Amino acid sequence: MTDEVYLVDGSAYIYRAYHAIAPLTNSEGMPTHAVFGFMNILRRLLKDKKPQYLAVAFDMRGPVFRHDIYPNYKANRPPMPEDLAVQIPYIKELVRAMNIPCFETQGIEADDIIASAAQLLSSQGKKVVVVSGDKDLLQLVNEHVVMWDPMKDKVMDIAAVEEKYHVKPEQLLDCYSLMGDSSDNVPGVPGVGPKTVEKLINQYGSLEGVYEELAGMKKSKLKERLEENKEKAFLSRDVIRLKYDAVVPAELSGYLPQEADYEKLNDLYTRLGFSSMVKEESKAIPVPTKGFKLVQTVEELNSVVEHINKAALLVIDTETTSLDVSSAALVGISLCTDLESAWYIPVGHCAEDGCLLEGQLQQATVLDALAPFLESTELPKLGHNIKYDYSVLKKSCNCTMQGPLYDTMIAAYLAQPGRRSLKLDELCLEHDYILTAFDQVVEDPKSENCFAYVGIKQACDYSCEDVYGTLVLWQAYEPLLKEMDQYKLFLDVETPLIPILADMELAGITVSGKVLEHLEEEFQEELDTLREEIHELAGYSFNIQSPKQLGVLLFEELGLPHGRKTKTGYSTDMKVLEKLAHRHEIPAKIMRYRILAKLQSTYVKSLKKLINPESGRVHTSFNQTVTATGRLSSSNPNMQNIPIRTREGNRIRKAFIPRENLVFLSADYSQIDLRVLAHFSQDAALLHAFQNGEDIHARTAAELFSVSPLLLTSEMRRVAKSINFGIVYGMSSFGLSNQLNISRKEASIFIEKYFHLYGGVKEFMGKVVAQAGIDGYVTTLLNRRRMLPDINVKNKTRREFAERTAINTPIQGTAADIIKLAMIKVVPALQKENLSARLLLQIHDELVFELPESELAETQKVVKVAMEGALKLDVPLVVNFEVGKSLAKG
DNA sequence: CTGCGATCTTAA
DNA sequence: TCGTTAAGATCGCAGC
């Protein structure tokens, strides 16, 4: 901290940031790089120098007094670029939000304001630092004033100026007058450069000095030029000369920054998409740990119970030995019901030797006491990713949480669709609380069992922070969900889905290690053979899995014609290889190699690793807060992309088998996307087709090719199917031509015909895109939102992508809504009918159950009713069933 | 060695 | 430079 006054040349740094930083836009497509660069400079100044006194000066739009003296002042400058102009108000707004004194005056420039302030303050003996890189401001340097350029981190005092320019700072004005300034269109004396000026000023002292002595100079080109341009030189000086009488505070208090308006600042940062700045600039504070209590005795546990008895909501977080449910053991539970207090109940903390530490209640004692609350169907529980806590308690503590399970992660997913992180600590930071990071409490976060070795006291603070933070978020998001009309979706769809997904994950699905083992050997043999053959044909060894090396072989060594190019080289994908297959043996072998290698690595080897040795089953994770459309996603393993189209793929499916004496029942929605499209578009032909149970692809084909349905070929149907799918994705003629290997012209004729047939669909697409343009987002039937920040941008590619998304998301998202509703209906319905069928998988439009064969007929009835009646559309929902002893089709 | 982007493939 | 949504393997590069 110093008592120097920092005067920042705001406008100069706006320009520098604008040119120095690559274009950047926020999520709405507004350019932000100048703002970003400027704020970085300002923030670095604040951080590094911690100035006690600081002010920023800006130019204002419009003519300045220099134009009166010299109308051509800056006449050669192009107008401010549009994408910079729109950023200026944000910069000024940010400086105001930071509560830094900010000066601007109509008719004068930032330089003049700085000059006035520097002179006024230095005449009072105050130290001044001019923050600028502009040489024009160097003339302000004196024994009290220095100039600092943060970009170069260089301080210029009198000595530095003299060393660099060989004149005194106060002589710089006269130097510039002679030299002129091409960037400001100030003429000076033509043909006089820095070296000449240096000589002249050093010899004669000043501009006046030069002209007084001019007559005595011997005849030369220089003398001639000086004589001819005397007026210009003096005019230039009047133009360049800084104005020292701008109105600026005379007292230091006028340069004293106040505490920032953090709310406004964060709001601006968020709008600009500067997430890193939101973090650093927030007024966030550590969570107050005063009300955090350890529960180590029965008496203390009883007092917690008494407290929860009066509560309307129980916030819970479990600490365990692993993120993976199947290997997680309980280490402790934290609870709270309001922001006054929170409790941590340790049950599994260990000493270094692995022995349980003293001062912990028995896990059973704790769960017996809490069970009435956890299992209460009345008392809502709240957690951040509560599916995990539900699963741990069910799996390792035999305690099944009931009642609504509110989840702040899901709340944030719905309320702020499209936000990048949903992690508790990041969300809390945006709500002004800094949480202790997991890495701060465990020594080696990667090693297993780690939380068990955290000290009990420290664990208490850490864990209680999490329930406290979760409650803080809930108090913010619950009203927000209501405001945004998302509360019903949250309560009636996402919340009841949580235990269903958890139970599906816990159930898992049996995978025969034996079958996989077999496949692995077989695939490996063929892969080895193929690799040898390919290397043989190539004449040298290379990595077949490297697109780069493969490209060299195919297109350079073999000289085959290359297709499209990628950013890094030639494309070698299946489409390209297919086209080369008839020219050379290698491409076909590569294709076969690719197919097998993919199956081998993704579906055989890694699937084998994920088989739980105890249960012989794999337990996927169904992620509820990942996709932009509202679909679920599945990981570890991804059970939603198990191969199906190829023969080998189907062999992998054969490894998925039901438990002994059980069968799989798969129920999939027929054409759900197109039915949703029919409902949204109200297209007469589409509605009619579905209402009459027609084969929609066949019907489309018959109309498209103008043939009777009886004469349709499978090729015609395939084309129609492609178009039907393409429509759902907002496809162009280019996309279709690519897909069908036909010309663009042919493709566009198909599309034209399609829209002629289904005029309502075309109309619907136009309407959705137009509405998205107005709202900036689209919604599904259950009001789920997706933001489309690019929907109105100038960039055609990005805008058109947003337009396709606007068309696709309501369809895909509504289909996702529907199957979620079906899941919520079907699980209790099966239970009510005393059927033992267990839901195992959801694959976007399909549900897979495991059940005794004897219950097949009755289960199908229940499933059919639940799925087909999930939501009432203007067309029927139709479900098809398949039964099998594995997941293989056919 | 780790992290990350690009490419490619799998599914709906 | 062109049909949506995902997960995941591998390569190859940049940085430590």
User: In this prediction, what percent of chain A has a pLDDT beyond 70?
Assistant: 98
More confident position, A436 or A22: A436
A190: number of Cβ within 10 Å: 10
> Mean pLDDT of all residues in chain A?
90
More confident residue, A490 or A258: A490
Strand B and A29 CB separated by under 7 Å: no
CA of A811 to C1' of C3 (A): 14
Please tell me which residue lies nearest to nucleotide C13, judged from CA to C1'. Answer: A568
CA angle A95, A99, A104 (to 5 degrees): 55
- Which string of DSSP letters, residue by residue, matches A364-427? HHHHHHHHHHHT-SSS-EEESSHHHHHHHHHHHH-----S-EEEHHHHHHHHSTT-S---HHHH
Query: Measured from the CB, is A640 under 7 Å from any atom of strand B?
Result: yes
What is the token pair recorded at A505? 């994950």
**Residue A364 pLDDT greater than 80, yes or no:** yes
Task: Report whether pLDDT(A446) > 60.
Answer: no
Mean pLDDT score, A158-180: 84
Q: Does A837 have pLDDT greater than 90?
A: yes
- In this prediction, residue A278 carries a pLDDT of 67
Which pLDDT belongs to residue A1? 45
Strand order in the sheet with A846-852: A838-842, A846-852, A662-669, A879-884
Q: Which of residues 425-484 of A touch strand B (CB under 7 A)?
A: none
Q: State the CB neighbour count (10 A cutoff) for residue A847.
A: 23
Share of chain A above pLDDT 90, in %: 54
Residues in contact with A617: Cβ distance below 8 Å, sequence separation at least 6, in sequence order: A507, A508, A509, A510, A511, A611
Which of these, A310, A301, A309, A311, lies nearest to A332 by C-alpha position?
Answer: A301
Distance A24 CA to B6 C1' (A): 21
pLDDT of residue A179: 84
Residue A843 CA to residue A633 CA, distance in Å, equals 9
CATH fold label, A816-884: Alpha-Beta Plaits (3.30.70)
| pLDDT attached to residue A757 | 92
> How sure is the predictor about A79, in pLDDT bands with cuts at 50, 70 and 90?
confident
How confident is the model over A547-557, as pLDDT tens digits? 888 988 998 88
CA atom of A790 to C1′ atom of B11, Å: 28
Residues 807-846 of A with CB under 7 A from strand B: 843-846
Q: How confident is the model at residue A448 (pLDDT cuts 50, 70, 90)?
A: low
Verify if strand B has an atom below 7 Å from the CB of A594: yes
Please compute the mean of the pLDDT values over residues A238-257 and round it to a whole number: 89
Judged by average pLDDT, the poorest of A12-21, A311-320, A497-506, A539-548 is A12-21
pLDDT over 60 (residue A279) = no
Q: Is the pLDDT of residue A445 over 60?
A: no
Nearest residue, CA→C1' of C7 = A638
Name the phi and psi angles at A29, rounded to 5.
85, 5
Provide the CA A602 to C1' C9 distance, Å, integer: 7
Query: What residue ranges do the domains of chain A occupy?
Result: 2-165+242-255, 285-508, 510-618, 674-814, 816-884
Answer for A880: CB within 7 Å of strand B: no
The residue-averaged pLDDT of A516-544 equals 92
Phi and psi for A470 in degrees, rounded to 5? -60, -40
Angstrom distance, A578 CA to C2 C1': 20
Q: Which of A95-109, A256-270, A584-598 has the lowest mean pLDDT?
A: A256-270
Q: Choose from A57-66, A562-571, A673-682 the range with maximum mean pLDDT.
A: A673-682
The nucleotide lying nearest A649 (C-alpha to C1') is: B10
Specify which residue's alpha carbon is closest to the C1' of nucleotide C1. A797
What is d(CA A381, CA A106) in angstroms, rounded to the nearest whole number? 59
For A2-165+242-255, CATH number out of 3.30.70.140, 3.40.50.1010, 3.20.20.70, 3.30.56.10 equals 3.40.50.1010
Let me know if A196 is exposed, middle or buried by CB neighbors in 10 A (0-12, 13-18, 19+).
middle
Q: How far is the CA of A630 from the C1' of B12 (A)?
A: 13
CA A383, CA A379: separation in Å to the nearest integer?
A: 13
**What's domain A285-508's superfamily in CATH?**
Ribonuclease H-like superfamily/Ribonuclease H (3.30.420.10)
A733-751 pLDDT per residue, tens: 778 887 787 888 888 888 8
Which nucleotides of chain B have an atom under 7 angstroms from any protein CB? 6-12
Give the nucleotide at minimum CA-to-C1' distance from A740: C3
| Strand B reaches within 7 A of the A74 CB | no
Give, as ranges, the nucleotides of chain C with any atom within 7 Å of a protein CB. 1-13
Nucleic strand B under 7 Å from the C-beta of A573: yes
Q: Is the CB of A545 under 7 A from strand B?
A: no
Q: What is the pLDDT of residue A200?
A: 81
Residue A636 CA to nucleotide C13 C1', Å? Answer: 27
User: Mean of the pLDDT values across residues A440-446?
Assistant: 69
| Distance CA A437 to C1' B2 in A | 21
Amino acid A68: pLDDT? 84
CA of A812, C1' of C6: distance in angstroms: 12
Residue A542, exposed/middle/buried by CB under 10 A (0-12, 13-18, 19+)?
Answer: middle
- How far is the CA of A145 from the CAs of A122, A131, A393, A491, in angstroms? 7, 11, 68, 64
Listed range (A126-140, A145-159, A440-454, A566-580) with the worst mean pLDDT: A440-454
Tell me what the mean pLDDT of segment A294-307 comes to. Answer: 98
pLDDT value of residue A411: 97
Residue A354 class from Cβ within 10 Å (0-12 exposed, 13-18 middle, 19+ buried)? exposed
Q: pLDDT for A688-702, tens place per residue? A: 999 999 999 999 999
From the Cβ of A598, is strand B under 7 Å away? yes
Residue A604 pLDDT exceeds 70: yes
Nucleotide nearest to A575 (CA to C1'): B8
Most confident range (mean pLDDT) of A514-523, A746-755, A828-837 is A828-837
CA A354, C1' B3: Å apart? 34
What's the pLDDT band for A306 if we cut at 50, 70, 90?
A: very high
Residue with tokens 């240096």: A198
Strands A285-286 and A154-156: unpaired
CATH superfamily of A674-814: 5' to 3' exonuclease, C-terminal subdomain (1.10.150.20)
- CATH number of the structural domain A510-618: 1.20.1060.10
How far apart (Å, rounded) are the C-alpha atoms in residues A409 and A494? 11
Q: Which nucleotide is nearest to A668 (CA to C1')?
A: B12
